[in-house]
Structure 1
Amino acid sequence: MKDLVLIGGGHSHAIALREFAMNPLPGIRITLISDVLQTPYSGMLPGYLAGFYTFEEAHIDLRPLANLAQAEFYCDRAIGLDLQQNQVFCANHPPIRFDILSIDIGSTPATLNVPGAATYAIPAKPVPQLLASWHKFQEKVLQSPQQSRSLATVGGGAGGVELTLSIQAHLNKLLAPKYRKNIEYHLFHRSSHILSSHSRYAARTLSQIMERRGIYLHLNQSVTRLEKQPSERLKLDCESGLTIECDEVFWVTQAAAPDWISGSGLSTDNRGFIQVNDHLQSISHSNIFASGDIATLLNNPRPKAGVFAVRQGKPLFENLCLILQEKPLISYHPQQQFLTLIGTGNGKAVASRGRFGLGPLRLIWTWKDWIDRRFMDQFNS
Structure 2
Amino acid sequence: MTSKRLLLIGGGHSHVEVIRRFGINPEPGAAVALISPDRHTSYSGMLPGLIAGHYHFGDCHIDLDALCRRAGAAWIGTSVTGIDTERRSASCADGSKHAFDVVSVDTGSTPVIAGIPGAARHGIPIKPVPRFLEYWATLRAAARSATIDLRIAVVGAGAGGVELALAMQHRIRADSGRARFTLITDGSAILASHPTRVRRRFTAVLRQRGISLRLNAPVQSATADGLVLRDGEVQPADHVIWVTGAAAPRWPRASGLQTDTAGFIAVNAHLQSPSHAWLFAAGDVAAMMATPRPKSGVYAVRQGPPLAENLRRALRGAALVAYRPQRSALALISTGDRYAVASYGPFAFSGAWVWRWKDRIDTAFMRQYNAPAQDGR
> Quick one: which amino acid aligns to residue 372 of structure 1?
D
Equivalences for residues 159-238 of structure 1 within 5 A: 159-175=160-176, 182-228=178-224, 234-238=225-229
| Cα deviation, residue 136, structure 1 | 0.8
CA–CA separation in structure 1 for the residues paired with 2:169 and 2:231 = 27
Verify: 1:259 aligned to 2:250, yes or no. Answer: yes
CA–CA separation in structure 2 for the residues paired with 1:217 and 1:238 = 13
Verify: 1:81 aligned to 2:83, yes or no. Answer: yes
CA–CA separation in structure 2 for the residues paired with 1:17 and 1:93 = 25
Equivalences for residues 364-375 of structure 1 within 5 A: 364-375=354-365
CA–CA separation in structure 1 for the residues paired with 2:175 and 2:150 = 15
Which sections of structure 1, spanning at least 5 residues, go unmatched? 229-233
Verify: 1:7 aligned to 2:15, yes or no. Answer: no
CA–CA separation in structure 2 for the residues paired with 1:73 and 1:347 = 35
Verify: 1:149 aligned to 2:150, yes or no. Answer: yes
| Cα deviation, residue 254, structure 1 | 0.8
Counterpart in the other structure of 2:63: 61
Verify: 1:39 aligned to 2:29, yes or no. Answer: no
Counterpart in the other structure of 2:375: none
| Cα deviation, residue 54, structure 1 | 0.3
Which sections of structure 2, spanning at least 5 residues, go unmatched? 372-377
> Quick one: which amino acid aligns to residue 159 of structure 2?
A
Alignment deviations for residues 19-67 of structure 1 (CA, whole Å, 9 cap, x no partner): 0110001111111100100000000000000000000001000011111
1:76–1:93 CA contact under 8 A, matched in 2: no
Counterpart in the other structure of 2:338: 347
CA–CA separation in structure 2 for the residues paired with 1:52 and 1:201 = 26
| Cα deviation, residue 124, structure 1 | 1.1
Counterpart in the other structure of 1:28: 30
Alignment deviations for residues 334-370 of structure 1 (CA, whole Å, 9 cap, x no partner): 10011101000110001111122112x1000000000
CA–CA separation in structure 1 for the residues paired with 2:203 and 2:362 = 25
> Quick one: which amino acid aligns to residue 21 of structure 1?
G
Counterpart in the other structure of 1:285: 276
1:49–1:167 CA contact under 8 A, matched in 2: yes
CA–CA separation in structure 1 for the residues paired with 2:132 and 2:60 = 14
Q: Once the two structures are aligned, what percentage of the paired residues are identical? A: 44
Any idea what SS the aligned residue of 2:58 has?
Answer: coil
| Cα deviation, residue 269, structure 1 | 0.6
Say which is worse superposed, 68-77 or 55-64, in terms of deviation: 68-77
2:67–2:370 CA contact under 8 A, matched in 1: no
2:153–2:183 CA contact under 8 A, matched in 1: yes
1:280–1:332 CA contact under 8 A, matched in 2: yes
| Cα deviation, residue 174, structure 1 | 1.2
> Quick one: which amino acid aligns to residue 375 of structure 1?
F
Counterpart in the other structure of 2:118: 116
| Cα deviation, residue 241, structure 1 | 3.2
Q: 1:378 aligns with which of 352, 368, 374?
A: 368
TM-score after normalising by structure 2 = 0.96
1:226–1:237 CA contact under 8 A, matched in 2: yes
| Cα deviation, residue 172, structure 1 | 0.9
| Cα deviation, residue 147, structure 1 | 2.9
Counterpart in the other structure of 2:97: 95
Q: 2:260 aligns with which of 249, 255, 269?
A: 269
| Cα deviation, residue 155, structure 1 | 0.4
CA–CA separation in structure 2 for the residues paired with 1:325 and 1:87 = 20
CA–CA separation in structure 1 for the residues paired with 2:121 and 2:81 = 20
1:186–1:215 CA contact under 8 A, matched in 2: yes
Verify: 1:322 aligned to 2:324, yes or no. Answer: no
> Quick one: which amino acid aligns to residue 208 of structure 1?
A
| Cα deviation, residue 317, structure 1 | 0.4
How many residue pairs end up in the alignment? 369
RMSD over aligned CA atoms reads 0.9
Counterpart in the other structure of 2:19: 17
1:221–1:240 CA contact under 8 A, matched in 2: no
